[in-house]
Amino acid sequence: MGRLDGRVALVTGASRGIGRACALALAAEGAAVAVNYRSQAASADAVVAEIRASGGAAAAFPGDVSDPVAARTLVERAIGELGGLHILVNNAGITRDGLLFNLEPDAWLEVMRVNFGGVFHCTKAVVEHFAAQGGGVIVNISSTHAERGWTGVSTYAASKGAVSAFTRAAAVELARFGIRVNAVVAGITDTEMVGSLTARDGGRGVTRQIPLKRTGRAEEVAAMVVLLAGLENGYVTGASIPVDGGALSTLGVGQPL
């Protein structure tokens, strides 16, 4: 018996990286999973095939969550084809990194539309359904960049800062409907999105700044998502929980005494 048996989850941006890991982890605990993707249909189909091969239920759903109409259609299709919806994982995200001096004036806009717009649109799309059934769980994937400065990621950091702030406000507003809203604050995680960062000098420049001295794994972020989605954590809402190897707990690794 899985802790999420009988539940249905929608994971945005689930064709790769953290989203893929979340879809697989939720399915392993018994949830039927709607695997959302924007352009990588083959990768999304592969995630669905992997879940089904393990005895789970899943289906792939295209949709650009930065578009409010597409986000609502995605939610409606997931509910209709999988027989309900209980868990929303807002994971879809992009980066457009660069030094401020070199960025175009509207460089922030596309990042904000996807990273925060997707969270807003999908959350808005599930609220009526969740409220009508007496509850639901929303887990947003935020980032340590929302909490600490880092060179070259200003637009991404701003978008994730918005996600973290939205998580707190939405948790307070939606609590009356039995809807819990939390965020997982992911640190430097070994995915395609941060590949260029960890490729430099074998990643040593990054890992030496992390107390656990390594980058995270997508599966470790997904494990926290599953934990927050579980019914046993029904008193947790408005929280932003770091999965970051201790990065947010230090001013620097310092020197050993």
β-strands 87-90, 136-143 pairing: parallel
Tell me if 222 sits within 8 A of 25, measured CB to CB.
yes
Annotated catalytic residue, options 61, 116, 130, 156: 156
How far is 150 from 136, CA to CA, in rounded Å? 34
Q: Is 37 a catalytic residue?
A: no
Q: Which of 16, 14, 12, 10 is nearest to 193 (CA)?
A: 16
Tokens of 218: 């997508």
DSSP, residue by residue, 122-133: HHHHHHHHHHHT
Q: Which of 146, 145, 126 is nearest to 136 (CA)?
A: 126
The CA distances from residue 12 to 109, 118, 119, 122, in Å, are 20, 9, 9, 9
Tell me if 153 sits within 8 A of 100, measured CB to CB.
no
Strand stretches in the chain, DSSP E: 8-11, 32-37, 58-62, 87-90, 136-143, 179-186, 240-243
Tell me if 135 sits within 8 A of 176, measured CB to CB.
no
Residue identified by tokens 């879940």 is 51
How far is 27 from 216, CA to CA, in rounded Å? 21
Catalytic amino acids? 156
